[in-house]
Structure 1
Amino acid sequence: RVHEFEAREGGAIHITLHYPAGSGEAGKSGDGSDGYRARFVELEPYTRIVQAIEFESDDADYSGEMRMTVDLVEARPGTRLTIDFDNIPPGIALEDNRRGTEMSLEKLAVLVDRRAC
């Protein structure tokens, strides 16, 4: 669920991702969900997005500000997208972060492919 989304430098994002019922996942927020707040540190259209992200959790292992940098470069055919993370909280396994990022990119690819048709 998207609670807030201001696509501008300094703009805020507030999102809650819910695990499927019965999945047994407690989530970082402890109620079967992962909530986070972020702000756009840099927003250069068609080139770069930098977000400062903080997870909504009482668990200290998820605290601190994580940075996600997305760089977009024109490539034939299309666009090459590179994502880098800094200061990933210790409660997030690198493999889980990688897989979650891959899942998001797979969903993005489906949306882009639909619009290209």
Structure 2
Amino acid sequence: MKPTKKTRRVDHSERLIAAPLPDVFAAFTSTSMLARWLPPEGATGTFDHCDLRAGGGFRLRLTFDDAQVETKGDDDSDIVEVHIPTLDDGRLIVWEVEFESDDPRFSGTMAMHWYLSRKGGGTLVTIDAHQVPPGISAKDHLEGLNSSLANLAAVVEG
């Protein structure tokens, strides 16, 4: 009998945003806008470097207000290094995300696929996070994805 390879899960979320697709896409290519919407509720984000183009990437420190939040990095923060292999003219954005952590539960590269499509006068934003490290709770991750999407809506709709 062949050994089975354990696959990592895919987390999924989506939101219809009442803004035109070019405005939503701009929120992925502006450092100031990304800093406003990407950190989930209860966190702030600081970029060490940021190059929001295909082939570029960013290093982001997420600092959490609640000291009880389990972080992957140091005492109160998560640090992620993100490579952007795909930035497809407002339709698809791919981020390859690596968490800085000595904990093997957070090792590996998570691929976040952001799909943008026109729908009902707005933009449907769909995210599929592939190969989510097992140390990230599915419940917490979904809450974080939904929070970021709500923040994105607030930034581009307002």
Do Structure 1 and Structure 2 share a fold, with TM-score over 0.5?
A: yes
How far did residue 26 of structure 1 move? 4.0
Match of 1:31 among 53, 59, 75: 75
Q: Distance in 2 between matches of 1:81 and 1:108?
A: 10
Q: Which runs of 4+ in 1 moved over 4 A?
A: none
RMSD: 1.2
Q: Percent identity?
A: 34
Higher RCO (CA-CA < 8 Å; seq separation 6+): 2
1:3 match: 48
Unpaired segments ≥5 residues, structure 1: none
Return the TM-score normalized by structure 2. 0.68
Q: 3-state DSSP class of the match of 1:39?
A: strand
Matched, 1:53 2:80: no
Matched, 1:79 2:123: yes
Give the aligned length.
113
Q: 3-state DSSP class of the match of 1:105?
A: helix
1:112 match: 156
Q: Distance in 1 between matches of 2:49 and 2:143?
A: 25
Unpaired segments ≥5 residues, structure 2: 1-45
Q: 3-state DSSP class of the match of 2:98?
A: strand
Return the TM-score normalized by structure 1. 0.91
Q: Distance in 2 between matches of 1:105 and 1:2?
A: 19
What's the CA shift string for 1:2-26, capped at 9, x where partnerless? Answer: 1111111210210011011x53224
